[in-house]
Amino acid sequence: MTSGQAAPTTLQGEVTEVLFRKEDSGWGILKVREALSGEDRVVTGVIGNLAAGNFLEARGQWVQGRRGKEFKASFIRNNLPSHPDGIIKFLASGAFIGIGRGIAERLVGAFGSETLNILMESPDRVAKVHGVGLRRARALQDALLPMRMEAPVLSDLNQVMGPAMAQKAVQVFGGQAASMIKDNPYGFTGSIPGFGFKRADSVALANGMKPDSPERLSAAALWVLRDAESSGHCALPLDLLESKVSELTGVDRQAVARERLNAVLSGETTSVEAEDGLYVMRRAMAEMEEAVATALLRRLASPLDASDLGAIDQRISRFARARGVPLDWRQRTGVSLALTSRISVITGFPGTGKSAALAVLVDLIGHDRVTLAAPTGAAAERMRLATGLTASTLHSLLGYKPTGEFTYGEDNRLPVKFLILDEGSMVDLPLLHAVLMALPDDAQLLIVGDVDQLPSVGPGNVLADLITSGVLPVTRFETVYRQGAGSEIIHNALLIRRGQAPDFSGMSREYRFYEAPTAEDAARVALEQLRTVFPKSGYDLRTDVQALSVMNKGLIGVDAMNDAVQAFAPGMGKAKLQTPTHLLQVGSKVIQTKNDYILNVFNGAIGHVVEIDERKSIVTVRFGDRRIEYTADRLRNLRLGWAISTHRSQGSEYPGEVFPVAAYNRHMLDRQILFTALTRAKSELAVIGPSKLIAEAATRPPRVRHTLLRWRLQTGARRALAAR
């Protein structure tokens, strides 16, 4: 306590009203009837899930606030009420469905100060109270039992991790959460969003954990591996893992190396001796990678009849002529391998005829035997347009549940005969694992994608590993067929693919480059393109043009660009609603950022706000011919869509595109992200930024992703060959 600071004091009393609560942080303002004086007091602080009728104990200081004298609490302990009047207020607070003041008074009239105990322990007695019944009595019991357990636990956890994380901790770990935070705070990392290693480590060290203890180093190793997965890795070389653990913990590298077995052989991690060294990975990830390799090799081991390839080629030519789509020898090879293999891959950049080949393949298979799917709704829609058949997202196909599980899996296979999976570069290891586990053994699978695009956001480098393993049948389409609109864009994208700088003198309507030395210059030119240049060429800003950004932050980041474009976008209405991320208006272009299986709207879907109910906080969005109502709790997955990240643009194409970059993007820029950005534009593209920066990025190879799927496929194939 500093000099002149008042000593903390204690206040006890009953919550009579929650005046304000900030849901994200749990900070709030309470009106409390003080037990000692019987007077009403205003209490501020982290109130968690306190409700009217709760009895609290708070520690803090009296201060002069806007409402006069207030008690500023540094600690609040939540207790269930025991006085009859408090119990009535508590039950009638609105926290219990179907319980109003009348029923609350009858319950307290029957059981007095023991009401809450009886509600939790004797629902049969409660059911006899007039107006309650057994169903309502059991619902009250179900609601109250966790509260009895949670009240003291939450009070303890709130002080360490805040109310939102504390509530999640109790949901995951139950009553043992409070003891866990003292005995093993590292157990919360990976389970409680926002409670990372640093936070857990500070608690552990404060409770006497030795800095170089095996438990601490093992927890750090597990955290590093999880963090690596969030960057796309499935494993890490042991020396890199040790280096990162040393950096994270501040423990000398040699001391970390001495404890390597604790990190490697703990229950959640495992080591793998690959050809180029020792790797460490989470056991769950290793088992998933091995299962994927095994499933793919099993398919290779049961080939289909391919004895009459001449007849197959004739059928391909006949169906291609019927469609009016001539196929070159690579396209015919890709279609032939797909027809005669249980697993095959087609790769190629935009304009090389993948869609044409797929259309012919679908006709050959038969519309009633083929199933089309892609990682995102936008990619699925492009499949539908290319083939004329319905396509779904992979999550929808697999029957995703809110629990995170899938309806279809190893014990409940998909009713699928031939699955075509498009945009394979976007598929991460867990998703491919889910597909392979759900696919019937006799079904065929074709994976289509552009290996030169960005890999998946999640862990794995699936498409690249499948292709470079040399184990699976792979066809690469090389010939560019796109002529006229879009051909200059493809030409420059191919320069980047070869590690060369694009054309900086380009200034046609189709492909334009604008030198912009600073982020301010890039933002000014990009906004002018969106405000004036594209609209003058006949493009509708709402539907035809998309701005892409490398990052979310900064002058040319997604957030700033969205706010700037919305300020001059045409057709904006007056109705507005402030969400946690943006100000939405009638006319706003928006994008769905997560799959929502209740609303049946999927990640990447772009729509427009058509109605806003400001009083009820309901936003209505039109996606194509569908109108979807978003309530306040679902708006967190809806963001402005005038500008989106390059990663989020995968699987989509746009008639017009504006792509600004600046020096602060340097660490994010490489050949792969440039190639992906340029190939999203179909007809007209404006690239803006420093030419030197873009030239450097074009020569920079993609970042290495540490995965072992390629090695597992190659090793498994060699074993199978040796066993013959």
Ranges assigned E (strand) in 288-411:
343-348, 370-374, 391-393
pLDDT 10s digits, 394-415: 999 999 887 778 999 999 999 9
Structure tokens at 508: 């046609």
Mean pLDDT by 10 residues, the chain (724 residues): 57 84 75 84 82 80 84 79 79 74 91 90 90 87 69 60 64 68 79 82 86 87 93 94 92 77 66 92 95 96 78 87 88 93 93 89 93 91 89 92 86 96 95 97 95 93 96 93 71 93 87 96 97 95 96 95 94 85 91 82 88 88 91 85 94 93 95 94 95 96 95 94 83
Structure tokens at 713: 């496929």
Give the C-alpha separation, 170 to 623, whole Å. Answer: 38
| Furthest C-alpha separation in the chain | 97
Model confidence, pTM: 0.78
pLDDT 10s digits, 434-446: 999 999 999 999 9
Q: What is the β-pairing status of strands 681-689 and 511-515?
A: parallel
Task: Report, in this order, helix, strand and coil percent for the chain, each rounded to 5.
Answer: 45, 20, 35
Ranges assigned E (strand) in 298-440:
343-348, 370-374, 391-393, 418-421
Give the C-alpha separation, 513 to 507, whole Å. Answer: 6
Number of other CB atoms surrounding residue 301 within 10 Å:
11
Taken as a whole, the chain contains a residue count of: 724
- For residue 16, what pLDDT is reported? 85
**CA separation, residue 692 to residues 516, 666, 675, 689, 696 (Å):** 11, 11, 16, 9, 6
Cα atoms in the Cβ-side hemisphere of radius 13 Å centred on 523: 18
- The type of residue at 226 is R
pLDDT 10s digits, 112-148: 989 988 998 898 999 999 888 888 888 888 777 766 6
- For residue 58, what pLDDT is reported? 84
List alpha helices for 174-279, DSSP H.
177-183, 197-206, 214-230, 238-249, 253-258, 260-264
Give the C-alpha separation, 100 to 301, whole Å. Answer: 67
**CA separation, residue 231 to residues 459, 590, 646, 703, 706 (Å):** 7, 26, 16, 10, 10
Residue corresponding to tokens 């060959």: 721
Domain range list for the chain: 9-154, 172-284, 304-477, 488-699
**Sign of the C-alpha dihedral, residues 369, 373, 377, 382?**
negative
Q: 681 forms bridges with which residues in the sheet? A: 654
Structure tokens at 34: 């003080």
Residue 547's closest CA among 697, 698, 693, 685?
Answer: 685
Residue corresponding to tokens 């534009």: 681
Residues 6+ apart with CB under 8 A from 59: 8, 9, 10, 11, 73, 74, 75
Q: Of 1.10.260, 3.30.413, 2.40.50, 2.20.28, which CATH number belongs to 9-154? A: 2.40.50
Give the C-alpha separation, 151 to 77, whole Å. Answer: 8
Q: Which CATH superfamily is domain 304-477 in?
A: P-loop containing nucleotide triphosphate hydrolases (3.40.50.300)
In CATH, the number for domain 488-699 is 3.40.50.300
Question: Does CATH number 1.10.10.2220 belong to domain 172-284?
Answer: yes
pLDDT 10s digits, 521-565: 999 999 999 999 999 999 999 999 999 999 999 999 999 999 999
DSSP string of 11-56, one letter each residue: EEEEEEEEEEE-TTT-EEEEEEEETTT--EEEEEEE-TT--TT-EE
Give the C-alpha separation, 386 to 438, whole Å. Answer: 26
∠ CA 30-33-37 to the nearest 5 degrees? 135
Q: 33 forms bridges with which residues in the sheet? A: 14, 40
- For residue 188, what pLDDT is reported? 79
**Sign of the C-alpha dihedral, residues 249, 252, 257, 262?**
negative
Structure tokens at 317: 């030519």
Burial of residue 23, with CB atoms counted within 10 A of its CB: 0-12 exposed, 13-18 middle, 19 or more buried: exposed
- For residue 51, what pLDDT is reported? 75
Exposure string of 443-474, with b = 16+ CB inside 10 Å and e = fewer, is bbbbbbbbbbbbbbebbbbbbbbbbebebbbb
- For residue 551, what pLDDT is reported? 95
Burial of residue 621, with CB atoms counted within 10 A of its CB: 0-12 exposed, 13-18 middle, 19 or more buried: buried
Domain 304-477 identical in fold to domain 488-699: yes
- For residue 448, what pLDDT is reported? 96
Structure tokens at 553: 């932050």
Q: What is the β-pairing status of strands 27-34 and 40-46?
A: antiparallel
What is the chain's Cα-based Rg?
Answer: 30
DSSP string of 643-696, one letter each residue: EEEHHHHTT--EEEEEEE--GGGGGG--HHHHHHHHTTEEEEEEEEE-HHHHHH
